[in-house]
Structure 1
Amino acid sequence: MDAGIYVYPWDVVGDPAAAERIAGLGVGHATVAAFYHATRALTPRHPAHRVIVAERSAAYLPVGSAWSGLLPEAQGWVPGQDVFGETASALAGAGVATHAWVVVDHVDGFDGPHVVNAYGDVYPWALCPANESVLEYAVGLAAVVAERPDIAGVEFEAAGWYGFDHLNQHDKVAGIPLSEDEQFLFSLCFCPACCAAYREAGVNAAQLRSAVRARLDATFEGRVGAVFDADLGDAVAAMRGRVADRLREAMVREVRSQRSDPGFAVSFHATPRPRVSLANTGLDMATLPSGTSGVVVNCWKGSAEPVAASVGHGVDVYAGLLGIRGMGGDPDGLARVIGDVRAAGAAGVRIYHAGLAGADDLTAIGKALADA
Structure 2
Amino acid sequence: MKASAFLYPWDVVGDPEAADRIAALGVHRATLASAYHSTRALTPRHPRHRVVTARHAAVLYQPDARWNGRALRPYPAADWAPGDAFGTAAEALAAAGVEVHSWVVLAHNSRLGEEHPDTSVVNAYGDRYPWAPCIAQPGIRAYLVDLAAEAGARPGARGTELESLGWYGLAHLHAHDKTGGVRLGDAGQYLMSLCFCAVCREGYGARGQDAEELAAAVRAALQPLWRGAPPRGVSPGGASSRAASPRGAASVGASPAGGDGWAGIEALLGEDRAAAARAWREDAARTLQEAAVAAVRAAAPDGFQVLLHADPVPYHCGANAGVDPAHILSVADGVVVPCTGGPGLLTPFAEQRRAGAVLAANLTVVSGMGGSPATLARDARAAAERGAGELRLYHAGLASDGDLATVRKALAQL
Counterpart-to-counterpart distance in 2, 1:289 and 1:330: 29
| Conservation of the 8 A alpha-carbon contact between 1:269 and 1:297 | yes
Give the ranges of 4+ consecutive aligned residues of structure 1 lying more than 6 Å apart after TM superposition: none
Q: Who is 2:309 aligned against? A: 269
Structure 2 residue ranges without an equivalent (≥5) = 232-266
Match of 2:326 in 1: 286
* Cα deviation, residue 66, structure 1: 2.0
Gap change, CA 1:279 and 1:224, over 3 Å in 2: closer
Which AA in structure 1 matches 2:344? Answer: E
The CA deviation at 1:224 is 7.7
Q: TM-score, normalised by structure 2?
A: 0.86
Q: What is the aligned counterpart of 1:322 among 348, 353, 364?
A: 364
- The residue type equivalent to 2:78 in the other structure is G
Relative to structure 1, is the Cα distance of residues 132 and 52 closer, same or farther in structure 2, using a 3 angstrom cutoff?
same
Which deviates the most, 146-155 or 339-348?
Answer: 146-155
Provide the residue aligned with 1:243 in structure 2.
Answer: 284
* Corresponding residue SS for 2:350: coil
Query: Take 2:2 and 2:133, find their aligned partners in 1: how far apart are those partners?
Result: 32
Match of 1:140 in 2: 146
Mapped partners of 2:187, 2:171: distance in 1: 13
1:307 shift after superposition: 1.0
Output the amino acid matched with 1:312. E
Question: Can you list the C-alpha shifts for 1:338-361, whole angstroms capped at 9, x where unaligned?
Answer: 000011100211100011000010
Identify which of 256, 260, 265 aligns with 2:297. 256
Map of 1:308 onto structure 2: 347
| Residue aligned with 1:173, SS | coil
Query: What does the per-residue CA deviation read over 1:100-129, in whole Å, with 9 as the maximum and x for residues that have no partner?
Result: 111111112223300000000000010100
The one-letter code sitting in structure 1 at the alignment partner of 2:74 is: P
State the distance in 1 between where 2:125 and 2:403 align: 44
Tell me the equivalent position of 1:162. 168
SS for the counterpart of 2:214 is helix
1:198-209 equivalent positions in 2, closer than 5 A: 198-209=204-215
Give the equivalent residue in structure 2 for 1:179. Answer: 185
Structure 2: distance between partners of 1:128 and 1:270: 18
Is it true that 1:89 corresponds to 2:131 in the alignment?
A: no
**In the alignment, is the contact (CA less than 8 A) between 1:324 and 1:358 conserved in 2?**
yes
The CA distance in 2 between the partners of 1:224 and 1:33, in whole Å, is 39
Report 1:108-123 matches (<5 A): 108-110=110-112, 111-112=115-116, 113-123=119-129
Shift of 1:290: 4.2
Cα shift readout 1:280-299 (whole Å, capped 9, x = no counterpart)? 11121122274410111111
Distance 1:287 1:239 in 2: 16
* Counterpart in the other structure of 2:15: 15
| Aligned counterpart, 2:106 | 104
Hey, what's the Cα distance between the residues in 2 that align with 1:145 and 1:230?
Answer: 40
8 Å Cα contact 1:4/1:27 also seen in 2: yes
Rounded to whole Å, the distance in 2 between the matches of 1:144 and 1:79 is 17
Counterpart of 2:272? 231
Answer whether contact 2:167 2:318 (CA < 8 A) is retained: yes
Conserved 8 A contact 1:256-1:291: no
Question: CA-atom RMSD, angstroms?
Answer: 1.6
Aligned match of 2:198 in 192, 197, 211?
Answer: 192
Distance (Å, rounded) in 2 between the aligned partners of 1:280 and 1:146: 17
2: CA distance between counterparts of 1:239 and 1:131? 12
How many equivalent pairs are there?
370
Deviations 1:164-216, CA, capped at 9 Å, x for gaps: 00011211111111111111110000001111111122221111100000011
Conserved? CA contact 1:270–1:297, under 8 Å: yes
Match for 1:293: what amino acid? D
Q: Does 1:359 align with 2:401?
A: yes
Q: Kindly, what percent of the aligned residue pairs are identical?
A: 44
TM-aligned CA deviation for residue 317 of structure 1: 1.5
Please report the TM-score for the alignment, with normalisation by the length of structure 1: 0.96
Q: Aligned partners of 2:218 and 2:109: how far apart in 1? A: 25
Question: 1:2: Cα distance to partner?
Answer: 2.8
